[in-house]
Structure 1
């Protein structure tokens, strides 16, 4: 059900008789503010979500880069993983603390910095990135399943995983949260068991010390860990927006930070170990070979986690797609029907791309996602500086949905200018297979683009914020409908 267009500057909320009870099976809310009466989420639940989100074979493959692509010894590889995730997790979790205060999805908040139409580009990039995560997990999940059951048709595996994800997404965030929390416990125990199995079975002499420490390899792996965390920034508030406004911000930060960093480090460390011991770059196959009799359980669990947890990627992609649609239909507040239709379309499109993927798809798609991350880094810096240093968390949330953008306008030119500069300054530092920036080349191929983008965008926005802010001070937080 969708509501009519608004007559003035704020979206018309459903009348009390039209608002389903919070116990309804299907989640009713989409991009609108969550009413205070339904802010029943807990920090423990948020921690469980973020503990489970990273329990995927894709995380293992990412961790293995340290000992394969960057040829670091195991200890140095794990240290780089820890440092990168600890650093990147701070930026990501700071975004999570915005959800309880404002009660809307993460990318809706971008309108407070860039204007209602100015934020559209960032929302589009985030939508494509989340859909990319969904596609990547379909491909890697199918590979995990085939590692156990070679006779399984990969087409059937992808379609089955997509259907399962769609069924979960239909219910909404409550079921997604429950499934990911259960997955966190199950996969976490299996990851620990895999560590023990590999170490007890005997690691070949010299395997853990193979390779050599290089500054380029170490800093590059730190960047991988940091960017892995920052990639979540565009949707962390999607999961924390159901927390109470008066007490949820601090809990959202620590629950998100702790859950995501712990799970990322644990699973990436397993990838470092598999990469160090296995010859070649078939990480999933190497994990199967190293875990022996445990391999069937591990790979089946990973395949299941990829299918079940993938619902979270499409859920957030759906919210972003609806945000983008509302940009061009101001005042329209999408409801349950719009969420289901949009989610169905995204599932079909993602599955079609996954089915068409070639053998080198993961590598090519990872490079594509990396480019999108470069695009999102300046947004993250501008958003955090505006929220914490300029406005201290005070926004007129109703104005986010106003046809004219209210005090935020349709286009915030100074903020968009800072964003553009934040993109441009990263180019000399970029490290990609198809292009390496001149500065990155001069310093040995170290990728510092993300760090430069954050620093320059944040500092520059702080300098121009006086002009970027609306003329009338805005201090009203969204009232519960």
Structure 2
């Protein structure tokens, strides 16, 4: 029995973006806890926590409060997408055709591909630094090695990724506990690490935004890892297993990073963590580095599915299989290597700006998707239409969704506060960034109102009375 399970894990997944038949469904809701808990305990998560204290200058207590608030809110948005996979049996980005139309969805899907590549590159930088530090290898070589390991997971596919993250949930969880105990209870932290002053609203809201985005950025991933689940998995079990795994797996490594940033604000994440865990630093960095490879396999896998979605939209007769996923993964890997090597010297600042700008383009998509799924369609979609070139009943373009998406970006711009741009309303708020809150608050009710007011179904097709679906 165990041998059969190992063989199934190592077997290359044949399917890509096609619908998963009920006869091939497997797994339990608790598997969703381990995939998100295990995949989040890694160096990039720790580095994001470092931003709260080393970049934003918050004391540890304020960073902890902000991180809890951000993850608690963002986790709700992220986990609500979890039930879509078992119900529909298709990848998350393919589902976007039901809201935006077959061609209208391409805008969002292409942006999400850039997101996957960006996360992959960021992970390679930290993983490369870890390998270089542990084994004395050239940093560029180390970055490439970390990336290549991740390619294997993406090529083999779904079962291997679930198995690896399940294993890492246990191993990384224990190592995370060791890091906290060693750093606080055994190693003497520098004086002033837990100072209480220096909290600012800009840093506090910036940290909340980073934590919330960390969760929201997973929204385009979620159904990719639930689409093989049985249809009777249930909304609540899928939600809570995903929510608990993602929030707990992200929060505690970021708290660890906040302490590292407060103790050694001038050190990079890998060096700071090693210095503060002297004696066990090597194994800790090694395990968190392996965690990066697992998470990057997820990034690359989802990026490949999204890229294939674009290709299949343009060439609807194309039936992509495992070899297509392997080729696409290799191309995305090459792009991520270039991005990693270009941005590695100013990593934390580049990553922070990337995350905040990413939030701006993801928020309106998630608002449209969740309102459409839970309020308008109640999870009932015509799966066959998702694979038709003309979008079937959903059309090529849903102009209401596309307009709401662009409007969602535009309404956030005045409230943005990044190193590259500070909007006029953000300036009046003292540099506090509430753009994502504004985006969700405006677009969710607006999309609901416009779709209810102007949309109706005639026969097999969704029609907007003002001509909004083509």
Both proteins in one fold, TM over 0.5:
yes
Give the Å deviation of 1:474. 7.1
2:175 aligned residue (190, 194, 211): 190
Which residue is equivalent to 2:350?
364
Give the Å deviation of 1:152. 0.9
Q: How does 1:64-463 map to 2 (within 5 A)?
A: 64-149=50-135, 151-200=136-185, 201-463=187-449
Give the Å deviation of 1:413. 0.9
Q: 1: CA distance between counterparts of 2:200 and 2:33?
A: 35
Give the Å deviation of 1:285. 1.2
**CA spacing shift, 1:331–1:94, aligned 2, 3 Å:** farther
Q: 2: CA distance between counterparts of 1:352 and 1:378?
A: 29
**CA spacing shift, 1:24–1:192, aligned 2, 3 Å:** closer
Give the Å deviation of 1:361. 4.4
Note if contact 2:401-2:447 (Cα within 8 Å) is conserved in structure 1: yes
Give the Å deviation of 1:362. 4.9
Which range moved further: 34-43 or 354-363? 354-363
Give the Å deviation of 1:160. 1.8
Give the Å deviation of 1:63. 0.7
Give the Å deviation of 1:338. 1.4
Which residue is equivalent to 2:34?
48
Note if contact 1:104-1:238 (Cα within 8 Å) is conserved in structure 2: yes
Tell me, what secondary structure is at the counterpart of 1:269?
Answer: helix
Note if contact 2:390-2:396 (Cα within 8 Å) is conserved in structure 1: yes
Which residue is equivalent to 1:10?
none
Q: 2: CA distance between counterparts of 1:183 and 1:413?
A: 43
**CA spacing shift, 1:215–1:300, aligned 2, 3 Å:** same
Residues 5-40 of structure 1: per-residue CA shift (max 9 Å, x gap): xxxxxxxxxxxxxxxx97881101111111101110
Q: 1: CA distance between counterparts of 2:237 and 2:229?
A: 9
Which residue is equivalent to 1:57?
43
Give the Å deviation of 1:411. 0.6
Q: 1: CA distance between counterparts of 2:27 and 2:176?
A: 28
**CA spacing shift, 1:237–1:474, aligned 2, 3 Å:** farther
Note if contact 2:130-2:285 (Cα within 8 Å) is conserved in structure 1: yes
Residue ranges of structure 1 left out of the alignment (5+ in a row): 1-20, 476-481
User: TM-score, with normalisation over the residues of structure 2?
Assistant: 0.92
Note if contact 1:54-1:264 (Cα within 8 Å) is conserved in structure 2: yes
Give the Å deviation of 1:283. 2.5
**CA spacing shift, 1:282–1:160, aligned 2, 3 Å:** closer
Tell me, what secondary structure is at the counterpart of 1:67?
Answer: helix
Aligned-CA RMSD value? 2.0
Tell me, what secondary structure is at the counterpart of 1:471?
Answer: strand
Residue ranges of structure 2 left out of the alignment (5+ in a row): 1-6, 462-470
**CA spacing shift, 1:350–1:220, aligned 2, 3 Å:** closer
Residues 124-181 of structure 1: per-residue CA shift (max 9 Å, x gap): 00011011111111111011222323x2122321222222112222211111111122
Higher helix share: 2
Count residues with an aligned counterpart. 455
Q: 2: CA distance between counterparts of 1:474 and 1:262?
A: 43
Which residue is equivalent to 2:464?
none
Q: 2: CA distance between counterparts of 1:279 and 1:69?
A: 8
Note if contact 2:29-2:233 (Cα within 8 Å) is conserved in structure 1: no
1:466 aligned to 2:446?
no
Note if contact 1:136-1:362 (Cα within 8 Å) is conserved in structure 2: no
Which residue is equivalent to 1:15?
none
Note if contact 1:429-1:437 (Cα within 8 Å) is conserved in structure 2: yes
